[in-house]
Amino acid sequence: MLQYWTAILTEATIFGVLALGIDMIWGWAGDFDLSAYAYFALGVYMTIIMTVGKAKAPVEYVLGWRLPYLLAVVIAVVVVVAFASIIGAIALRNLRDVYFSITTFGAVWAIYYLVENFTPLFNGYNGVFGLFDPMGQHLSYNAYHYFFFAFCLLVLFLVYLLVQRLSTSPFGRMVRAVRDDERAASVYGRNVFWAKYRTYLFGAGLAGLSGGLFAAYIGAFNPLDWKPTEIFVLYAAILVGGRGNPRGVVLGSFIVYVGFVEMTRYIPSPAARPELGPALRQILIGLLIILMLKFRPSGLLPERLGTDGTSVQRSWRRWFTRSRRLPDPRPDDVASDPVIGVES
Partner 1 sequence: MSATALLEIESLSKSFGGVVAVSDCTMTIREGSVVGLIGPNGAGKSSVIDLVSGFEQPSSGSVRFAGVDVVGKRPDQISRMGMIRTFQTPREWRDLSVLDNVRVGRSDLERESLWRSLTSARRLRRQDALDTEELRELMAHYHLDELRNDRAVGLSGGQKRLLEFARIASAKPRLTILDEPMGGVNPVLGERIGEAIRELKKAGSTVVVVEHNLPFVEKTCDEVIVMDLGSVIAQGRFDELRDNKRVVDAYLGNDDE
Choice from 37, 39, 149, 202 touching partner 1 (CB under 8 A) = 202
Cβ pair 45, 55 in contact under 8 A? no
Q: Does 33 bind partner 1 (CB under 8 A)?
A: no
| Closer residue to partner 1 in complex, CB, 137/311 | 311
| CB neighbour class for 275 (10 Å; exposed up to 12, middle 13-18, buried from 19) | exposed
Residues 107, 36: Cα–Cα separation, whole Å: 10
Q: Helices 36-49 and 2-23, interaxial angle, to 10°? A: 120
Q: Does 89 bind partner 1 (CB under 8 A)?
A: no
Binding characters for partner 1, 221-260, by CB under 8 A (x = yes): -----------------------x----------------
Choice from 56, 138, 183, 273 touching partner 1 (CB under 8 A) = 183
Q: Which of residues 288-307 bind partner 1 (CB under 8 A)?
A: 303, 305-307
Cβ pair 51, 84 in contact under 8 A? no
Residues 39, 36: Cα–Cα separation, whole Å: 5
Q: Does 326 bind partner 1 (CB under 8 A)?
A: yes
Residues 185, 208: Cα–Cα separation, whole Å: 30
What's the maximum distance between 2 C-alpha atoms anywhere in the chain? 86
CB of 123 to partner 1, least distance (A): 37
CB of 282 to partner 1, least distance (A): 31
Q: Where along the sequence are the contacts to partner 1 (CB under 8 A)?
A: 162, 165-166, 168-174, 176-177, 179-181, 183-192, 198, 202, 244, 303, 305-308, 310-312, 324-326, 328-331, 333-335, 337, 339-344
